[in-house]
Amino acid sequence: MALQFIIEPDSGNGDPITIRISGGMTLGPRLLEFGRRAGSLPAPLVSNGVLLEMSAVEDIDSAGLGELVILYTAVGANGGRLGLVKPSRRIVSLLETTRLAGILPHFENEAAAAAWLAGPV
C-alpha cells in the first residue's frame, strides 16, 4: 500500500503535532512528499513536539529510516522532540539494529508519548 499521512496540527493548547502514517515508508514520491511536508512545519508548532503514529506502517526501508532521521533533525533544530507511537516490532528491531532507537524513542500509546514530551528534556 502506498504511503499515506495526515498531519494533525497543534490545537492551540500546546499539544504536540501528530502525524498519522499508514502504508509503506519506502523510496518513492510519496515518501519525498512526506519528508517535505513534515520537515516544513512551522517552528512554533514543532516546539511542542511531534508524534508519528505508526501503527499502520506496513514496511520501511533505508529511505524511510533516513526520512525519520531528517525529521528528527528538523524538529530538534526548532526546539522540539520527536517520538514514535506504536511502531511495529520490525520497525523497532530496525531502529535497534541501526542504533537509531536511542534518538527515536517509541511508545505504546499517544498518552505515554505526550507525557514524555511534557517531561524534562
Q: Which domains does the chain have, with CATH numbers?
A: 4-118 (3.30.750.24)
Between the CA of residue 18 and those of 27, 28, 48, 75, what are the distances in Å? 22, 22, 11, 13
R_g over Cα of the chain: 13
Per-residue pLDDT of the chain (121 residues; tens, 9 = 90+): 899 999 997 666 778 999 999 999 999 999 999 999 999 999 988 999 999 999 999 999 999 999 999 999 999 999 999 999 999 999 999 999 999 999 999 999 999 999 999 888 7
The predicted structure's pLDDT at residue 11: 65
| Distance from C-alpha of 78 to C-alpha of 4, rounded to nearest angstrom | 25
For the entire predicted model, the pTM comes to: 0.94
E strands in 9-96:
17-25, 50-60, 82-85
